[in-house]
Amino acid sequence: LFGRKRVLVFTSIPFSASWLVTVFANSVEVMFATGFVGGFCCAIVLLVSQVYISEIAGPDIRGCLSAVLKIFGHIGVLISFAVGAYLDWRQLAFVVAGAPLMLLMSILYIPETP
């Protein structure tokens, strides 16, 4: 029904939107809702990207690429903590909203899985 690429494209939009809504949130309920939507989208992206790598990469580099995916995910969290030391939470949410947009721009140039 949906390919891996299409799922990543359509998930990155609400993922980024959840962070942008967080920037302008004025109630705890909105924060909870955006946290739920963002977490749900993050889980989809992590799962589908792992499956995408396993389907598109050859057996000789599949394990290495899977490890690189996890390493860069942890580096991203580390960078957000480091940047968060200098920004308030609204500014940090605005910066983090760019990550799913970068995913959206880059996913348009990769092939669909077989």
- Per domain, the residue ranges of the chain are 4-107
Q: Domain 4-107 class?
A: mainly alpha
> Average pLDDT over the chain, rounded to whole?
93
Q: What is the pTM (predicted TM-score) of this model?
A: 0.86
**Tens of pLDDT along 18-62?**
999 999 999 999 999 999 999 999 999 999 999 999 998 899 999
Q: Residue 43: which of 65, 16, 11 has the closest Cα?
A: 11
Task: Select from 80, 90, 83 the least CA-distant residue to 23.
Answer: 90
Cβ within 8 Å of residue 90, ≥6 positions away: 22, 23
Query: Tokens 């993050």 map to which residue?
Result: 42
What letter would DSSP give residue 12? H
